[in-house]
Copies of this chain bind each other. A is one copy, B any other.
């Protein structure tokens, strides 16, 4: 048996064949590296000509849709079929935040990129909307609530990757005594509850948002 790659000859670099998956992988790596995303930079990273992309994808939006799918693949939404609404939202929001904590540079991109073409991401939304509907939410109230939760989750993912000392006032502490005291009190509380400051803020906000949404839905 001869492996197909052996036919290429010894002097030729063993570059995997270009594919949609490989383009999307490289796009996510480029985004994770924190730079600007462009087809030119992506082609450079893959050592191909930009024109060769078009055998596999239809353009930049198609690549970003693939990246959205790749990230949201980590967000299980099956809990909406198993758990009561409020518990399911907690689990979903946690998984959602974790998926973006793993890719913080994708947050702004995801928050502003159309979902069209990201079929697997759309199916996640279908599961979530189905869960809201089953819990009795009026159809016209569901998307605003989901978008509100997502905005909170994405902002919280940014907070989770911030330095733990982000709110330490430093040399200005004397000028802002109540703020400095509140930050110290928060730090003591987080330590006592064995949580990071970011996890404490996330748990606080998620509880508040879910309680508030539940109250609005029952009005």
B148 and A151 form a contact (CB under 8 A): no
Interface residues of A in 148-181 (CB under 8 A from B): 148-156, 158-159, 161-163, 165-172, 175-179, 181
Cβ contacts under 8 Å, A181 to chain B: 139
A161 and B130 form a contact (CB under 8 A): no
Identical subunits present = 2
A135 at the interface (CB under 8 A from B): no
* Interface 9-residue window, one of A7-15, A21-29, A44-52, A121-129: A121-129
A57 at the interface (CB under 8 A from B): no
Question: What residue of chain B has the Cβ atom nearest to residue A165's Cβ?
Answer: B114
A126 and B178 form a contact (CB under 8 A): yes
Question: What residue of chain B has the Cβ atom nearest to residue A178's Cβ?
Answer: B129
A125 contacts which of B108, B133, B179, B212 (Cβ < 8 Å)?
A: B179
Cβ contacts under 8 Å, A172 to chain B: 116-117, 119, 122
B211 and A166 form a contact (CB under 8 A): no
Question: What residue of chain B has the Cβ atom nearest to residue A217's Cβ?
Answer: B208
A200 at the interface (CB under 8 A from B): yes
A55 at the interface (CB under 8 A from B): no
Given contacts A36-B34, A168-B114, A182-B142, contact A125 B204 (CB under 8 A): no
A201 and B115 form a contact (CB under 8 A): no
B158 and A151 form a contact (CB under 8 A): yes
Given contacts A152-B152, A154-B158, A213-B208, contact A125 B176 (CB under 8 A): yes
Supply 19 A–B pairs (Cβ within 8 Å), ascending by A.
A35-B36, A112-B166, A116-B168, A119-B175, A122-B169, A123-B175, A139-B182, A142-B186, A143-B201, A145-B208, A147-B159, A151-B158, A152-B205, A152-B209, A204-B213, A208-B216, A209-B212, A211-B216, A212-B215
